[in-house]
Chains A and B, each alone.
Chain A
Amino acid sequence: MNPLDALSALTQVQLPATGVNFQPTGPTIPGGAISESFQSQLQPMEIPPIAAPTVSVGAPDGPATWGHMVQQMVMEVNSKQQTAAQKVSDVLQGGPTPVHEAMVATEEASLSFEFLAEMRNKVVDAYQQVMQMQV
């Protein structure tokens, strides 16, 4: 997935106008929990998975959902940051890691995190758009 695909993937995060069913299964969606009354007023409908070429995540026995994907990404970003921190520490201690490897790891961790944050922003924006809709 090259950068331009990522951009198009982000713009495809849209909630169907007829209804939405948030099912946060991992980290909480920022913006607070959805009130019960709101949820009951809407017709339940699955959020379609993002049409990104490399996505192959999901529960073993179900379709890929947004919550699963976010959870996976958070764990992955976390592990990237840990790798980067460990490599930097190795460089500082004079170990065998080359400097450029630590730099690459740091930059990739930082970019992954930004990617995750940006996706969260898009979801929050979309949610807020829905909240502003006249019912």
Chain B
Amino acid sequence: MGMIPGIDASSSALEAERTRLDVIAGNLANAQNTSDASGQVYRRKMVVFESRLNDAIEGGANAGSQVQVARVMDDPSPLPKVYMPGNPKADAKGMVQMPNVDPLNEMVDMMTASRSYQANLQVVSTGRSMFEQSLKIAE
């Protein structure tokens, strides 16, 4: 179980949410990027979480679940086209493919990730407080 109960799950969640925030930041930064490293239009990235049972050895008989980022994938939704005749990437009709990043969507995701991050910090802090109280048993 470790000294602080449930700390494995919480620390895995902190890491996963941080990854998600990084991805969101990347999306926001590239919201107008029509040409990434390979010359393609930037596609919104999203993370997929999955749970992973605690190792039987680490957690003893207790199989809590950690969380991890299964993969970072491209959002398959269609890329919007915007009318920008002056843009070097404009096609015959003057339409340019833009990244499928909606800043409002990203902000909502960011708030969810941030709230979850803080909740997990709270779990660690509570667990730590429980541990400290248990020390009092033996003075």
> Chain A CB within 10 Å — which of B60, B61, B138 has the most?
B138
Is A123 on the interface with B (CB-CB < 8 A)?
no
Please, which residues of chain A bring their CB within 8 A of the CB of B3? 91, 99
Given the interface pairs A103-B134, A106-B138, A107-B137, the reply to whether A98 lies near B59 with Cβ below 8 Å is: no
Contact yes or no, B134 A100, CB < 8 A = yes
Q: Are B59 and A96 in contact (CB under 8 A)?
A: yes
A96 touches B137 (CB 8 A): no
| Residues in B neighbouring A3, C-beta threshold 8 A | none
In whole angstroms, what is the CA distance A98 to B59 when docked?
10
Expressed in whole angstroms, the minimum distance between the Cβ of A126 and any Cβ of chain B is 30
State A110–B62 Cα separation when bound (angstroms): 29
Nearest opposing residue in chain B for A92, CB measure: B3
**CB-based nearest A residue for B131:** A99
Are A107 and B1 closer than 8 Å at their CB atoms?
no
Within 8 Å of chain B (Cβ to Cβ): is A97? yes
On whether the beta carbons of A95 and B138 are closer than 8 Å, the reply is no
Asked whether, in the complex, the Cβ of B138 is within 8 Å of the Cβ of A110, the reply is yes
| Complex Cα gap A104–B5 (Å) | 17
In the bound complex, residues from chain B placing their C-beta under 8 Å from that of A104 are 137
| A100 lies within 8 A of B1 (CB) | no
Q: Which residues of B lie under 8 Å from residue A99 when comparing CB positions?
A: 1, 3, 131, 134
Question: Which residues from B are CB-within-8-Å of A95?
Answer: 60
Tell me whether A98 and B138 are in contact (CB under 8 A).
no
If A91-B3, A94-B2 touch, whether A100 touches B137 (CB-CB below 8 Å) is: yes
| B contact set with A: CB distance below 8 Å | 1-3, 5, 58-62, 131, 134-135, 137-139
